[in-house]
Structure 1
Amino acid sequence: MSPIMILIDLLAISTLVFAIYFPRHRRADLVVAFLGVNVGVLAVSQVLATSSVGAGLGLGLFGVLSIIRLRSSEISQREVAYYFAALAIGLISGLTQAASILAIAMIALIVLVLAVADTRKVASFGGQRQEVNLDHAITNHTELVQELERVLGQKVKHANVLRLDLVNDITLVEVVTDRKQALPAHPELTNA
């Protein structure tokens, strides 16, 4: 067991959660989850590293548990990345018996990559992603895109139907719009 690696782990996860994730996204429930995953993985990997039980068995169990946890509530792909970063930092810290330059560099790399990747500048490359619930069912893709552009007032780059309910006349669509290409306002929307 390396007390230095435990301190490095706690410093890294604190930086990731309190300096990067929480100020940007403000979800306290996931702060608890990221910290819990990290410290739990750190503790189990420390025990597995010093016991006769194979590390593969322990890592396999954590893989199954993390998949079950990630499927039990709706979270974004960005939050999945934070989950796996918390898990990876805990694993690296727990399985490293003595502080090494490689382990510290990998932990720093994980934190740095998320700090850079989870910024507005990077997010704006793909456009704005959102879910839109239309109050009528649209089966034709061209009509769907036209309706989304009318409602949102932005150029639609991509539209993916998540749910089409012909009985209740509802269409749930995941939409990516181009923030830079606002469409002219429609008179029926501005006069309402």
Structure 2
Amino acid sequence: MSVFAYIAADLVAIAALVFGLYFPRHRRKDLIVSFLAINVGVMGVTYAMATADLTLGFGMGIFAVLSIIRLRSTEMEHNEIAYYFTAIALGLLGGFPSGNPAVSFTLMAVLLAVILIGDHPALFGRTRMTQLVLDRAVADEKAASDLAAAMLGATVHRISIRKVDYVAETTACEVRYTLIDPDDALGTVAATGELHVTSPAGLR
């Protein structure tokens, strides 16, 4: 199949990834050009290496240069790293015109499907992770979990205490939790006729 078909497939795939999935979900404009540039750049380098008479050492040197590139501007979240590597993988698949087109195009579709499902807002949509600073010094994880649950109004699944400051009376921790569905809470109130609210101050 013509190399232009691979290029077109890669451009369609990266456009769907960036403009159809990433930006509508995360709204981070500065990474758009990064995803597009890394995808097209990897595709071009891969095609040049696949069609030119190059030694193995030259090819390894090219990818060694690419591997030392580090993003020094702002920190990327884990889901954004997934988009970043998907853009690279799409570029690699689009840069091998000598491969089986059915396999290459199918793998492109599979990559997009994985991102579509894995990063879908409806998938565990009420589950969160945050860095939380409690307004008291707590060394016990159970007490910290109860305090965090009252502050967040959520079900805490896991809490990891990072730092306890007994001078400033604060506790830094990482909390993984699920927001309580308001409909479930109202249903419980309607069934029992009681509503109990625990404030963070009440846990002191």
Residue in 2 that maps onto 1:185: 197
Distance in 2 of aligned mates of 1:83 and 1:59:
16
- Asked if 1:22 corresponds to 2:23, the answer is yes
Q: Does 1:63 align with 2:53?
A: no
**Are the equivalent residues in 1 in contact too, given 2:151–2:200 (CA < 8 A)?**
no
Q: Deviations over 1:38-95 (max 9, x none)?
A: 1121122222223314334433433343xx33x7632221111101100100111113
Change (3 A) 1:2 1:99: farther
Count of matched residue positions in the alignment of Structure 1 and Structure 2: 184
Structure 1 residues not aligned, in runs of 5+: none
What SS is found at the alignment partner of 1:123? Answer: coil
- Residue 117 of structure 1, CA deviation: 1.2
1:168 offset after TM fit, Å?
A: 5.0
**For 2:135 and 2:7, how far apart are their aligned partners in 1?**
52
Equivalent residues in 2 for 1:42-61 (5 A)?
Answer: 42-51=43-52, 52-54=54-56, 55-61=59-65
CA contact (8 A) 2:153 2:179 kept: no
Cα distance in 2 between the residues matched to 1:72 and 1:169: 34
AA in 1 matched with 2:198? H
Contact 2:150–2:200 (8 Å) recurs in 1: no
- Is 1:152–2:152 an aligned residue pair? yes
1:137: how far off?
3.9
What is the DSSP-based 3-state SS (H/G/I as helix, E as strand, rest coil) of the residue aligned with 2:75?
coil
Q: Distance in 1 between matches of 2:116 and 2:48?
A: 30
CA RMSD of aligned residues (A): 2.7
Percent identical residues = 29
State the one-letter code of the partner of 1:14: A
Please state if 1:5 is matched with 2:6.
Answer: yes
Q: Which SS does the other structure have where 1:178 is aligned?
A: strand
Q: Distance in 1 between matches of 2:200 and 2:104?
A: 60
Which range moves more in the overlay, 93-102 or 27-36?
93-102
Q: What is the TM-score of this pair, normalised by structure 1?
A: 0.81
C-alpha distance in 2 between matches for 1:120 and 1:87: 23
* Structure 2 length-normalised TM: 0.77
> SS of the counterpart of 2:63?
helix
Counterpart mapping for 1:99-178 below 5 A:
100-124=101-125, 127-161=127-161, 163-164=162-163, 166=165, 169-178=169-178
CA contact under 8 A between 1:155 and 1:177: conserved in structure 2? yes
SS in 2 for 1:128: strand
**What is the CA–CA distance in structure 2 between the aligned matches of 1:40 and 1:62, rounded to whole Å?**
10
Do 2:39 and 2:87's aligned partners in 1 also have CA atoms closer than 8 Å? yes
Q: Which amino acid in the other structure matches residue 74 of structure 2?
A: S
SS at match of 2:123: helix
Q: For 2:170 and 2:39, locate their aligned partners in 1 and report how far apart those are by CA, in whole Å.
A: 40
In structure 1, the residue matched to 2:88 is 87
